[in-house]
Amino acid sequence: MKVTINRSILELVEGDITHQDTDAVVNAANPSLLGGGGVDGAIHRAGGPQILEECKTIGGCPTGEARMTIGGRLKARYVIHAVGPIYKDGRQHEPDLLVSAYRSSLGLASRHKIKSVAFSSISTGVYGYPMETAAEIALTTTRRYLEGHPEIQLVRFVLFGMMAYEVYERVLRSMKEAGRLNEGGSS
């Protein structure tokens, strides 16, 4: 599914983040930036040891923020390592921290003149964030950002498996039906 927001495209695909040909891919990292399972493990395996070497020089990243490295052997030139919150009960600032992880990633992309970004679904694996609420936050934060930042031409959410894809699609459709997408066209 694809929608236009202001002059940018927001797209949902089912697939693997490590195969994306966008300028940057966004990793669901942990605060150490020293690797982990899930998306993180897949990105380091596919991108090779150069990514971890650069991560080691950064010295970690607080929850709700993001840091950038080269993409190593990935097609993407850069990896943005975003640290989402561990979900407990939704009352430990998890929503604010997840918004902030997305906003920080998009802000880094703008500052580095990155025009296309592929996101994984931050916090919805080992960190346990309920997929539907996380999708609302991810898509709403991106929509708001793109409305003010046409320099980012494409944001693609890469959902791992049809179940995750269908949740994101449902949320994006309901945003569209509720008129919350100030878009120029869609498909």
Which residues contribute to the site for ligand ADP (CB under 6 A)?
A: 16-18, 28, 38-40, 42, 84, 120-127, 158, 160, 164
Residue-by-residue DSSP string for 136-167: HHHHHHHHHHHHH-TT--EEEEEESSHHHHHH
For ligand ADP, the closer CB: 38 or 95: 38
Task: Tell me the sheet residues that pair with 165.
Answer: none
For ligand ADP, the closer CB: 23 or 183: 23
Smallest separation, CB 182 to ligand ADP (Å): 28
For ligand ADP, the closer CB: 64 or 125: 125
The residue to which tokens 């697939």 are assigned: 15
Q: Which of 82, 75, 134, 71 is nearest to 106 (CA)?
A: 82
**Catalytic site includes residue 40:** yes
For the chain, give the longest Cα–Cα distance.
46
| Whether 35 contacts 45, CB under 8 Å | no
**Of the listed 21, 40, 89, 96, which one is catalytic?**
40
The residue to which tokens 């346990």 are assigned: 128
Smallest separation, CB 76 to ligand ADP (Å): 12
Smallest separation, CB 147 to ligand ADP (Å): 26
For ligand ADP, the closer CB: 97 or 114: 97
Q: Output b/e per residue, 54-78; b: 16+ Cβ within 10 A.
A: bbeeeeebebbbbbbbebbebebeb
Smallest separation, CB 150 to ligand ADP (Å): 26
Residues catalogued as catalytic: 40
